[in-house]
Chain A
Amino acid sequence: MSATETLPFTTAPSIDPYKLGHDGRRRRPDDGGAGRDYSTGHGEGGPASKHVIVAYGFWIFLLSDIVMFSAFFAAHAVLRSATAGGPSGHELFEPWSVAIETSCLLLSSFTCGLSTVAASVRNQLWTQFSLLVTGILGLAFLAFEARDFATMIASGAGPQRSAFLSSFFAVVGLHGLHVSAGLLWLGTMMAQVFVKGFRAVVMRRLLCFNLFWHVLDIIWIALFTIVYLMGEGL
């Protein structure tokens, strides 16, 4: 009675097109001592490569983050018109500022994508440059958002004013907090790429950071639509 068996490993190739259930050691040479980026399973084969497992785990985190955001979105959708006699979105939002924020964030996602291209060809200069531009665009986004918040609060439209404003500051602020945390992470990643180079573990972290940054962009699109565009119409 044992969990261990040594049956020959047989898998029809057609049911596993991406070779996830196969042992990477048979196919890929060692990458020069930089750490293996593939299965550490044992016996005949093993689980998917680390690259796949790490990205999968990070997607689960991102999806749980999206679940949290959807709760904030739902609250905002319900409270949108609960202005308690205070200012509405139409009176408060400055479309030109929101447009700049959106452009900054969308462009930063593009440059973040460029950093992936540069990292995949192991180009230190272009990786760092694209990450730096990503960070500067992220900072610009945050600066405009902080300016918006400060203007609103100064005009008496702070989160305490109405349920609409509470939910507005909650959902937009939550996104802003994510961007801030992302910027800290970005700085850490730039330092890691600089000091440690493109070793497997750094590449996996870059992948996760990219996923994170793009998801923040997706959430901003939803914010832009639901909070700003639809709020403008009220």
Chain B
Amino acid sequence: MIYNNPFSILSETIPSIAMQSFLILMIAFVIIGTLVDIIHKKNVKYFFENAKKAKLSATRELGVGEKTSVIAKTVVYDIGTTSELGAGKRRVAHLLGMYGTILFWISSAVMIFCYSSTTSNTPSAWPIIWHVGAIMTILGGSWFWFFLRVDVYSEAQPWYRIIKADLFVLALITTSLFGLVWSYLQYLNLNERWDDKVFLVLYIVSNLVLFGGVYWSKFAHMFYKPGAAIQKNLAEADGSRDNLPPEADAPEQFGLGIKREPPKHY
């Protein structure tokens, strides 16, 4: 199963152009949903106004080279390793989900656009990436949803309480899960049986919810968070630091630091 391109098998019943159109529609959903979100919340406008105001208290001007270096470091470390989550389970779960999703989406796009005809010969790497990406997303997403959600972990809400903020993570998990099950059933070659068709429909519906629900879900944090991380590090570099004090030059007499406990004292 893991070596089979599910979209190539699907092209026997659904033309490639339909799959490609669906993918383009999903991209359009993301762009439209994010733009409407930005217009409605005015968050980007506030963000840039705040950044402009913070720049007034900058103590030094950053050159193009320095800015590029700060941005590159932010992309590699802060964004690439989601450093803001600190060390711990939340970061591992987020990294699993994040890279799983990226692999799943990229391999989906490549297989749909390049290898989705009955005659195409898909390099085995792409189906492997697609399946591994889906498994990583399910593992990371489920770990987060069942055990690490802050409203459950720190607020003592019951685990079965579903709120609007779950729309994104649940849609992400179900998309990967239904995709995997559909791929497996299709691989079994059950001929005219209904199983794989049902899961194909569920896979399509969960994709529609995931990408069509951008305005209502947390989807757009994927774009906001990297922007905020870059602004934060640029503000540290130019000395404005969002009005925060500089890092302390710790005198020795202050003694040892303290160890923070996990936020679970409800």
Tell whether A and B belong to one assembly. no
